[in-house]
């Protein structure tokens, strides 16, 4: 077995490769729809006992971006806290600002502790809230009762 040759790239080749990677990243980050068209959107807040997920969509319902407490680094029971929900709302408002979304309709779903704090954070971060709607599913007649116990 002979010696292995290691090919070293010159500085010019490294710079060209870096430019290719940066342009590819810029293309990925930019929204698929030009930001001039997206001024209004919908924000869906899904707050459960375990997590808070906030999704930003355009007015038609196509998802632009989303953030959850778990994706921000909160683990375990800390994901369901109001503090984590407010951090998620701050992150989604920053992303909305980058995409050019100014006015939002908020749809809140779930019974977690992060509902109100997420909503307050969205309002405090400068998003113009047009409407707030609670879309939590409510059972119309409850669950089916268990079979009668036979002894």
- Per-position pLDDT tens, the chain of length 151: 667 777 777 888 888 887 877 777 666 555 555 545 578 999 999 999 999 999 999 989 899 999 999 999 999 999 999 999 999 999 999 999 999 999 999 999 999 889 999 999 999 998 999 999 999 998 888 889 999 999 8
Model-level pTM? 0.70
Residue 127 lies in a domain: yes
* CA 9/CA 13 separation, integer angstroms: 6
Q: What is the pLDDT of residue 35?
A: 45
Q: What is the pLDDT of residue 31?
A: 54
Count structural domains, the chain. 1
Residue 150 lies in a domain: no
Residue 97 lies in a domain: yes
Residue 130 lies in a domain: yes
Residue 84 lies in a domain: yes
Q: What is the pLDDT of residue 1?
A: 60
Q: Which residue range(s) make up the domain with 63? A: 40-134
Residue 72 lies in a domain: yes
CATH number of the domain residue 111 falls in: 3.30.420.80
* CA 145/CA 151 separation, integer angstroms: 18
The DSSP line for 64-132 is EEEEETTTTT--GGGGGSHHHHHHHHHHHHHHHHHHT--EEEEEEEE--TTHHHHHHHHHHTT-EEEEE
Number of residues written out for the chain: 151
Residue 7 lies in a domain: no
Residue 99 lies in a domain: yes
């Amino acid at each position: 077995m002979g010696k292995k040759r290691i090919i070293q790239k010159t500085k010019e080749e490294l710079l060209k490769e870096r430019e290719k990677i940066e342009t590819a990243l810029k293309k990925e980050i930019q929204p698929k729809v030009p930001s001039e068209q997206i001024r209004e959107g919908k924000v869906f807040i899904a707050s459960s006992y375990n997590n808070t997920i906030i999704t930003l969509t355009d007015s038609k319902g196509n998802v632009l971006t989303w953030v959850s407490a778990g994706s921000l680094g909160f683990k375990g029971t800390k994901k369901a806290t109001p503090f984590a929900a407010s951090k998620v709302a701050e992150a989604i408002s920053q992303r909305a600002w980058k995409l050019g979304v100014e006015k939002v309709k908020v749809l809140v779903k779930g019974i977690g502790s992060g509902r109100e704090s997420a909503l307050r954070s969205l309002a405090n971060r400068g998003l113009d809230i047009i409407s707030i709607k609670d879309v939590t599913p409510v059972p119309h007649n409850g669950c089916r009762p268990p079979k009668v116990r036979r002894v």
